[in-house]
Amino acid sequence: MSQTLLEQLRAMTVVVADTGDFQAIRSYKPRDATTNPSLIAAAAQMPEYQDVVDETLLMARQKLGQTASRQAVVAEAFDRLAITFGLRILEIIPGRVSTEVDARLSWDTEGTIAKAREIIGQYQAAGIGRERVLIKIASTWEGIRAAERLEAEGIHCNLTLLFGLHQAIAAADAGVTLISPFVGRILDWYKKETGRDYAPVEDPGVQSVTQIYQYYKKFGYRTEVMGASFRNSGEITELAGCDLLTIAPALLKELDGATGPLERKLDPDRAAEAKLDRLTVDKDTFDRMHAENRMASDKLAEGIQGFTKALENTEALLGRRLLQLESDTTLEQSTGDLFQVFDVNGDGYLTREEWLGTDAVFDAMDADHDGRISLAELRSGLGALIHLAQVT
């Protein structure tokens, strides 16, 4: 039986899962996995991962105490949520997980370093070594400088939102572990700019990653290249042989269902023969090249804005869920107290004689129509009334 494209790809490239969906990761068995604020926000809203959100909120409440404000608990849980997902992912995969620093720190070197140390500290407290975590940082000049210092401390970094050669060279010169050039987002920009479609071989995103890969291999950089943000499987097959490719579940499924020969397109020996000039990228050069590259300027700013919006959405989600959880807990406690007041004879049921409300409410609470109300029926009935009041 012939091998699938995914099986052939694994023989020449490390396949990484670009998702926070545990089930998808189990299905495709990648070595590594990447997450970002948008993926975490999407996963946090999936019913099957409600327990992850709830666990994170309850741990935050426990850490801060019952007197802490909900705002403080949400802030603590927000910082913890991506790590909670990361820890669950690391139970499935043998390799590394990438966890992203708050995008709102993208132009703040010191803030990025502090947050990265905090993230690594939480992983280490959970028994995870630094070698299994990549800290994702936006490829701004300030982010690259933060990554340089973190790498010197043994904290490995993944420079994300990378769209230009200037960012790639600066990151490699800083000694970062890995970069993530965004193939599909580059394609998006050019399609919008030109109004035309591109075949995979001429795809501007594919060409950008190919150029970066060749540059790194030509000049002996150890920084790994991980193509990311794919729009179609053709982009992936055109980059077969890249160090790593992080691929969304839908495209993993497509590759796993397709057969035919897969040619290696990127090869370190061939790249070493490429005719390229070595560039020195200091801050002035970085700023100049970034300003001249309108696509990179647009997409970096847009990416940071998008991740910031995803973070804000996640904060709002956590706030709503914490309110619900604590309202449910308060309702449970209050209902128990109320039940004890009504249950005069202490037999665990409220009879019509013990009930001080109207007959209509008693009949509505008496779900099994046995002429008495249990504690569970009282809680269910009051919970339904409160929910009805909230939505009407």
User: Token pair of 47, please?
Assistant: 């019913």
User: Token pair of 245, please?
Assistant: 């490719």
Phi, psi of 261, rounded to the nearest 5 degrees: -70, 140
Q: At what angle do helices 294-342 and 50-64 cross, to 10 degrees?
A: 70
Categorise residue 46: left if φ over 0, alpha if ψ from -120 to 50, beta otherwise.
beta
Phi, psi of 350, rounded to the nearest 5 degrees: -105, 125
Sign of torsion, CA 343 347 349 354? negative
Kindly list the catalytic residues: 136
What DSSP line would sit under 313-344, residue for residue?
Answer: HHHHHHHHHHHHHHHHHHHHHHHHHHHHHH-T
Exposed e or buried b per residue across 5-39, where buried means at least 16 C-beta atoms within 10 angstroms of its C-beta: bbebbbeebbbbbbbbbbebbeebebebbbbbbbb
Angstrom distance (rounded) from CA 373 to CA 367: 8
CB 297 within 8 A of CB 141: no
CB 186 within 8 A of CB 295: yes
HEC profile for 84-140?
A: HHHHHHHCCCCCCEEEECCHHHCCCHHHHHHHHHHHHHHHHHCCCCHHHEEEEEECC
User: Token pair of 229, please?
Assistant: 């943000």
